[in-house]
Structure 1
Amino acid sequence: MIPSPARRFLARHTRRAWEPAVRLARPLTEALVTGAPDPARPRSRRLTRRVPRALGLLPFRTIDLVLLGDLALTFVLFGGGLSYLETEAAAARSPLDQQGLMFAALAFSLPLALRDRWPLAAWRSAFLLVPLGTVVSRQFLHEVPYTAAASIMYVLVVYAVAVRCERHITVGVWIVSFLAAWMIHPNSTALVVGTVSVTVLFGYNVRARRLAAGLLAQEERRSERALAAQAALEERARIARELHDVVAHHMSVIAIQAEAVPLQASGDARRLEEGLKEIRALSLAAMTEMRRVLGVLREGDGHADTAPQPGLGRLEELADTARSAGLVVTLKLVGDLARLPTAVSLSAYRIAQESLSNAMRHAPGSTVSLKVARYGAELHVQVTNSAGHRSPEPSESPESPESPDERGHMGHGLIGMRERVSVLGGRLWVGPTGTGFAVTAILPISEDA
């Protein structure tokens, strides 16, 4: 029996001796048997075409131009390779029949049809078929037994593997290609290995660039989401400060009423009861506004803007300001707008203000229709503008989800509208209409607001 120290020494050195073999066996095993490629990247619109209506009975709706190109090149390589092999066989007076030549032509072209969907399967089939086809063709090709069709097919298949597979699988493909080239025709090994090496390095570089671009795009999307969330929080805090002023106004009125009602009543129970009812109504309104403040406020900085807040009574002034900036503004007011809750009036004013500001920025000189209407317990705000003197650029269009307003880079217009409407429990629609743009908001009018 081997002593324990000697057994440990033998096991350690045996493991060290096997480690290089294990490292080499992994890429070879995955390249030949167990490996799998990465999922195919989404095809760009330039590389896909819709099926014409005249061909509507086909089982697919789009045509993949890359796959179509591979199939076309496969057919060309098969036809050209078959003609070449027949010519060379006739010149060498080879006894091969037509079936043998056709098999060789298929072996040198068929794997190319698989490389887009199944790159590893395409390479594995090429690894099996090319040597078999070479056995047929080398009987009359005495110098290099590889035809042009076989070379083109194998380079494209190896490139697909390098682009879609992990590095160790690509290394395994390179090693197997080197061994196969050395066994098939040793004199051309250097040429084959050089060509395959250049193809592998080029494909790996393309793969690395694609992965880096994907990670960069992912980081940009994450950054945009963070900026949008920050913009939403800032907008909510600003809205909460405005509602804070509304609550402060109600509380001030309550304090004055609580002090004045007993003096005005002078012992009259009826007048005292009326005064208390009015104080109660104001208290309920203040509580409603306070709930809205707590619902939207996320961070308090300890400062509140105490300037008077605007309302629908200043819409004419707002329209005049827009007209002085070059817009043609038509203002239409419908219904009783005098007795609206302060928060509703303020939100409607801000939505109209931001819509006119967007029209000034993105459609200067346009015609704007501003309509504010009260229908029962709802207030409708609709602002529609035409295209103006110039069409908005894609990067600055307010309706675009990638616009600066949405990302928080150049103001919080659309975010602010959505936050104001959500605070009041209303609905908002924004989007293009014809050549222009429309904003429609429906704000509920609460009795206790």
Structure 2
Amino acid sequence: MSPLNQIRFRLPRGARADAVLAGGVFVLVALAEGSRLSRGGESMLSLTVSWLLITTVCGALLFRRRYPVTVGWFTVLATGAYYLLSDIDAPLIVVPIVVLYAIAAQGRMQAVVAMSAAMVIGTSVGALVGNSDVNGTAVFMLTGWLVAVVALGSVRHGRVAYAEEEARLRATEERLRIARELHDVLGHNISLINVQAGAALHRLKKDPAQAEEALGAIKASSRETLRELRTTLGVLRQVDEEAPTAPAPGLARTDELVASAKLAGLPVRIERTGSERSLPAPVDLVAYRIVQESLTNAAKHSGAGRVTVRLAYGDRELTLAVEDDGRGSASCPAEAGGGSGIVGMTERARAMGGELTAGPRPEGGFAVRARLPYGATGVPTKWSDR
């Protein structure tokens, strides 16, 4: 890159911009006032007061960020007093206009409307009393400028408020996404560990072999929990720029969920219908999490003797159901003493443009049913190709 391309002109911002503007206006007004001095005939008191007003109005601009309304009223009144004393059409009016725009951009519309009205009324009074420097055209032009400035400031305030609200919504959505992901990662395996630990304690003296098997399942589940937790935290931290090496969970790992559930004493059967296909990654992850959470609820709450996972691949959407023969409403943590599993699954399904229902089955037990549209990226393929 050439040195010329590296040189970039940057406009001043913040307090530095206010200082540059105040200095520029002061110089322009001072040049205009020079004609007053060269012309002569002005009283020393009038000249002194005029220069004092010029200096204080320009200097007040430096404090507009700390005391916006106070500076606004001061610049409006002091600028009006200056134009009463001086017959020079100096650009001092720029200062109160800048301050009014800044106040409007902060959303303080009552204050800025009152200041604008004071300026228009003062100019109109000057025109009525016969001031040769003020006429109807000047009043009309000043009113137009003030309306434009207030409108622009109001638009600026609306855009900033919209951007802030959008940022808050994005942050809230991200927190919910992280909470759901951590709940799914930790809740399933820790729930299985809890069930397996209870089984191990129960069988420790009666059947040491089965207790040892349960402890082995606890070890495997805890290792899987640590692996998924590290993966999730690694993505959140974004320690480096390398892409994650571990694939995102999907329905290809459903057999792992079934194996974990069986180790916890929960027999699970999978039924697949339709033309199996490779799913879009977000849909695949949501389907996996719904099955995972449903099996977790069944293991913790239902007392089921059997669970069936049904995966139906349609032309445009995946339909899945997890049904158990347990105690019905006890399979739902929201009805069995609190929890956010059903809520989290519903939010995930809706985020994909689908829907989820959960509730007791008429024939007994509990069922979670979800419909997940593929979107435009689902490509039919053989299951074995995944």
Please report the TM-score for the alignment, with normalisation by the length of structure 1. 0.43
Please report the TM-score for the alignment, with normalisation by the length of structure 2. 0.49
Q: Who wins on radius of gyration, i.e. which is larger?
A: 1
